[in-house]
Structures are given as C-alpha cells and as structure tokens.
Amino acid sequence: MLYPEINEARSVIDLSGPWYFRLDDGSHDEGKADSDFIGHDSLIAVPASYNDLKENPEYRKHYGWAYYRRTIIIPRALCSERIMLRFDAVTHYAKVYLDGELIAEHKGGFLPFEADITEKVKSGREAELIVAVDNRINHSTLPMGNEGGTAFFGSDNADVPSVIAAKKWRKPTNLPNFDFFNYAGINRPVRIYTTPKSYIDDITITTDIEGNDGVISFSVSAKGSGKTTVEIVDREGKRIAEAEGTEGVIRIKDAHLWWPYPGDPYLYKAVARHGDDVYSLEFGIRTAEVNGLDFLINGRPFYFKGFGKHEDTAIHGRGFDFVMDMKDVSMIHWMGANSFRTSHYPYAEEMYQLCDREGIVIIDETPAVGIGGTTEDIYKIGSFRKHHEDVIKDLIARDKNHPSVVMWSMGNEPDVVSYPDSAYEYWHSLYEYTKALDPAGRPVTFVCNQNNYERDRITREMDVVCINRYYGWYNLSGDMEAAAYALNMELDFWEEIGKPLIITEYGADTLPGFHLSSPEMFSEEFQILYYRTMNGEFDKRKFIIGEHPWNFADFSTIQGPMRADGNRKGLLTRDRRPKMAAHYFRKRWLAIPDFGYKR
C-alpha cells in the first residue's frame, strides 16, 4: 500500500488534532455512536494512545471499546478527484462510520487501512466521522492476550486459599500475554488523500547488482485508462533512465548502492506516471541474502549491532512521535549501532523512511507476540492463523520497497517446545508463505525465547537463527560465571546446527543512578558486567552475526512485582538519557566494523 504523497496530481489533508472521545460503558459490546455522544464526551489527541492522556485511571486500564468523533469536509477544488480516507494504525480493532454508515472495518493495530469515500462526501457539506476502537486481546488477536484473565508477572499462582478465592472474586481484565503496555487508540495519523480517477494503485521495485551495474525491476499496478511510464531520478534530481509500460527492467551503469551508515545510504527515485496520476517512490539499490554463515548486504558480510526497540514514549504511549523517532535514530548513530528489530510489531511508516535515508538496517517484525501461555496446544485452540497470514501479507505490501528492511520476522517468542510438532507445522508453513510473498526474496526468521532448544524443531529451520536469552537475569540470576557456562553449552548446540545466529535479546533491568562497588543486579555496574560477559562469549563464535541488547530504552508495561515503572532493561532511560552501559556499547560498537567482523 502506497504512503500518502503530495505532488502535482495528489493532495493530502491531515486529520491530526483534537477529536471528541469517550470510553465505552464497560459492557464490551460495541455501542453505537449516537446523539447521546455529544455533550458527554471529552477531547483527545489524534494521533496518540489515549491511555496516559487523562488523570483518570479508567483510561489506563480500559478494557473494550472507545469512540472517536469529528467532522470532515472536502474542499470544492478536490471534489472531482478520487477521495480516500486512510488510517495508518488503529489499535487493535477499528470500525469506521461516515454519517452513520459503516465504511471500513479493520483487525490489527499496527498496519494501515483505507476506505474510498469518493461517492460519500459532497462538496461543501460536513460529514460526521466516528471511529470505534477495541483494545481487547485474546487468542484470536496479534499480539495475543488472555482477555478475561487476572494475573501477569505476579505470584498469583500461590497455593493460598484466600488468594485463590480472591482471584475468582476479582474483576476480569484485558490481560496481555506480552511485556509491553497495551497502548490503544488512533495511534498513527489519519489522512484524507486524493488521486485522479485513473490512478496508480501500487509500485513494486526490486533491485540486483551485476558488476558495477544496478538492475531495477519495476511493476506498476494502475487502475483506469492511461499510459504508464517510469523514470529513474538520481539524488541530484537528474533523470537517468526511463521506461514505458507497467513492468520492466532498467539497468543503471555504475550505480550508487545503498549502504548502511557510515556508508552512503544512496537513494534513487522512481517516478511513475499513469494517465494524470504521478507517484514518486524513493528506493535503494542493494541486495540482502544469507550465504553459509554470512548475512550479506551487497555481497559483504554484515554484523548486526543494534537493539530490540519499542514505539514507546511518555504521554504519547505508542502514538506516532516523529520527534522521538529522529532522536532515536540520532542515538543509534551515536552508539555506533547499525540496526534494530521492530519488536514486537510493525512501526510507523515514517520511521522506515527515516532509516532508508539514514542508513539504518531493520529486521521487520509482525505483531505475532505472545502465542502460547495456555495449558492446551495454542496452535489447536487459537484462531489466529488467518489473521497472522493477513498481517504478513499487509506488512510485506507496505514495506517491500524499503532498502532498510533486510529480513522479515514472523513473530516473537511463540511457544515452540510444549507442542513441538504443532509448532513445527504452523511455523514451517508460515515461513514458506512469507518467502513466497516477498518479491525481493528477503531472508525470513522468527525470534525464539529461552527454551529447551533441543526440543525446539523449528528455530533451526529459519534463514537466520534468532534467539532471546536471559542467562544471568531470569535464570542463574546475578551469577555471570554460571551464566557464561550455560550460554556456552547452548552455543555449542547452535554451532552444530550450522546457521548464522543473531542474539536478538539479552539484557538486565537497571535503575539509572543506582551504583554499587560490587556489581549486583539492578545496578549500572551489573548491567555492564552482564553485557561484557555475554559479548565476550559472542566474540569467540564466528557464527554469531549480530547482537541486539534488550532494550534500546526503558518502556512502559503492565504493573507487577518485577516491573518498577515498566521494563528497565533500556540502555537509555525512557527519555533517552544514556545509562553507563550505553557508553560501554558506544566504545565497543565504534570499534566493531559493520562488514567483515570475525571474518
């Protein structure tokens, strides 16, 4: 799906700002937006998560539907165009009404959807737009939750009669099966955009390198009559090639390749025209593939230095925050990192555009986190397969043209050992499905949790083995010698498997400013000891091709006895101040080359 663009043929109206808002009455049924709404509602910011915007605990712990309302009006000058209403992300389920008519419905909180409203809006007349948003998470949603449950990160399982009784008595909640706050609402921009009636629906660009030449394959999907052309424009704005038709191959002599920073992340533009419509798409010429134990970018072995991240900032919650995205990219450069994973859901499109331009490499993850946590086989009792396929399809459709995206992650930490055969069947077929969808054929993986790796049949089948490991934190806590011993035993196992491996998470909660002369857990000194020990072991193993500490920054979670104001494993605080370990990594990573490390 193309990102909304303003150019000589297209216009964009941004609907950011205050919208009327109300939480539902707690019945968990979608109420109808009615006249009763007016006068009983408050104002809320769009885009943003609603949870932290009001001094009312109901906003933070809300469970169910919420309603947003505003009016829209189309300027007369645009009324002869095709008019689209686009939502970049509504978390997690949206129903959109225009003048009382349901015009769009969408499941999944992190990908865009749109509705054609051309026939529904009349010049000079205001139309009422209502968006009903559901934040419930259960065994059919991604991320997965335990809607109706009451416990997480606690000792609620204790065999204490009074606790057992109180658990039954307690009100059910919208319980996550994942470790980040379930921020909800209209989290990303809402826009009206227009195109001519004959229009470009989609563009796909894939690239290859032959000698010094870049080979660009393009395909333009267009609706309505008109001639289709594509021009390639270089960074200086010079037209260097052109072709006619909806598909073709263009060869660029002595092409500039897209390299991760501090290399040159060179971007070209493909300017597609169809009839009166035009769309220009930035793209880079680069390849990304796995070969033996190497992850090759433009044929050279890349070492992933970076993070698991979150879209999480104070007040905004998971709401789009371009200022923070800029700051994050700056901090990534400052620390000498070159990559991150969009743990645990697709991020806002603007972040990928920024990373294309700034030369940061992305492992792009779906929102499939929390699959498991049940006493029965989740692959048999859950109804999420079709939705998982849909998010993979939509993710690839949205992000396929970004040079920054070098690998797809189908999900994070599903249960793959309780029912290894079911897990195998599920993830193996999804892997093949994902592979077949990407026109650029990027490597595909999923990220596995600390488990009985011998029973896990599926992680070893991924193009890159991606593992999250917390030796020395959740197990063998504080004993880094024992942690190194255990880590090495496991690494011997993976070395035998003979695939490249990225440590996609490892980390220790750390309270900034808490110092100890003897490094114990939660102190800044321990965080450094932890990473120094782990990294020392990674450095000895050639097949480890990347290290992503967890997490880039502290982030909000549900409350619980293991979470003091959220998850504190950040190398940065939530407001992006470096902990001591950030300086440690900066020194380490500035000394590790992006290409050829350990080769």
Annotated catalytic residues are 413, 505
For residue 315, CA distances in Å to 2, 49, 226, 330, 555 come to: 29, 8, 47, 21, 12
In three-state form (DSSP H/G/I as H, E/B as E, the rest C), the secondary structure along 385-408 is HHHHHHHHHHHHHHHCCCCCEEEE
Of the two residues 224 and 560, which places its CB atom closer to ligand BDP in the complex?
A: 560
We find the least distance from the C-beta atom of residue 569 to ligand BDP, in angstroms, to be 5
Of the two residues 230 and 362, which places its CB atom closer to ligand BDP in the complex?
A: 362
Of the two residues 413 and 415, which places its CB atom closer to ligand BDP in the complex?
A: 413
We find the least distance from the C-beta atom of residue 344 to ligand BDP, in angstroms, to be 6
Q: Residue 190 gets which letter from DSSP?
A: E
Nearest to 304 by CA among 425, 193, 498, 443: 443
Looking at residue 496, its amino acid is E
Give yes or no for a contact between 175 and 147, defined as CB atoms under 8 angstroms apart. yes
Counting beta carbons within 10 angstroms of the beta carbon of residue 428, is it exposed (0 to 12), middle (13 to 18) or buried (19 or more)? middle
Judged by CB under 6 A, which of 24, 88, 356, 505 binds ligand BDP?
Answer: 505
Judging by DSSP bridges, how do beta strands 239-244 and 228-233 pair with one another?
antiparallel
We find the least distance from the C-beta atom of residue 594 to ligand BDP, in angstroms, to be 25
We find the least distance from the C-beta atom of residue 174 to ligand BDP, in angstroms, to be 18
Judged by CB under 6 A, which of 342, 412, 535, 556 binds ligand BDP?
Answer: 412
Judging by DSSP bridges, how do beta strands 300-301 and 247-252 pair with one another?
unpaired
We find the least distance from the C-beta atom of residue 345 to ligand BDP, in angstroms, to be 11
The SS3 call for residue 185 is: strand
Of the two residues 318 and 402, which places its CB atom closer to ligand BDP in the complex?
A: 318
The SS3 call for residue 3 is: coil
* Site residues (CB under 6 A) for ligand BDP, limited to 144-163: none
The string of DSSP letters for 300-318 reads: EEB-EEEEE----BTTTBT
We find the least distance from the C-beta atom of residue 291 to ligand BDP, in angstroms, to be 28
H or E stretch including 358?
helix 349-358
The SS3 call for residue 433 is: helix
Residue nearest ligand BDP by beta-carbon distance: 179
Would you give the binding string for ligand BDP spanning residues 434-473, x where CB under 6 A is met?
Answer: ---------------x------------------x-----
Neighbour-count burial for 128-145, b at 16+ CB within 10 Å, e otherwise: ebbbbbbbbbbbbbbbbb
Looking at residue 217, its amino acid is S
* Site residues (CB under 6 A) for ligand BDP, limited to 294-353: 344
What is the separation, in whole angstroms, between the first and last Cα of the chain?
A: 39
We find the least distance from the C-beta atom of residue 207 to ligand BDP, in angstroms, to be 32
Of the two residues 21 and 530, which places its CB atom closer to ligand BDP in the complex?
A: 530
Looking at residue 293, its amino acid is L
For residue 503, CA distances in Å to 93, 303, 586 come to: 33, 11, 18
Query: Distance between CA 304 and CA 325 in Å, rounded?
Result: 20
Query: Distance between CA 79 and CA 13 in Å, rounded?
Result: 13
Of the two residues 92 and 310, which places its CB atom closer to ligand BDP in the complex?
A: 310
Of the two residues 86 and 569, which places its CB atom closer to ligand BDP in the complex?
A: 569
* Site residues (CB under 6 A) for ligand BDP, limited to 174-213: 179
Of the two residues 268 and 550, which places its CB atom closer to ligand BDP in the complex?
A: 550
Q: Considering the rule CB under 6 A, would residue 550 count as an interface residue with ligand BDP?
A: yes
Paired with 546 in beta bridges are 304, 502
* Site residues (CB under 6 A) for ligand BDP, limited to 89-108: none
We find the least distance from the C-beta atom of residue 509 to ligand BDP, in angstroms, to be 7
Give yes or no for a contact between 597 and 546, defined as CB atoms under 8 angstroms apart. no
The string of DSSP letters for 129-155 reads: EEEEEE----TTSSS-EEET---SSS-
Judged by CB under 6 A, which of 136, 191, 402, 569 binds ligand BDP?
Answer: 569
Of the two residues 78 and 151, which places its CB atom closer to ligand BDP in the complex?
A: 151
Of the two residues 47 and 507, which places its CB atom closer to ligand BDP in the complex?
A: 507
Judged by CB under 6 A, which of 24, 328, 364, 413 binds ligand BDP?
Answer: 413
Give yes or no for a contact between 537 and 518, defined as CB atoms under 8 angstroms apart. no
Report how many residues bind ligand BDP under the rule CB under 6 A: 10
We find the least distance from the C-beta atom of residue 475 to ligand BDP, in angstroms, to be 12
We find the least distance from the C-beta atom of residue 531 to ligand BDP, in angstroms, to be 14
Residues that bind ligand BDP (CB under 6 A): 179, 344, 412-413, 449, 468, 505, 550, 567, 569
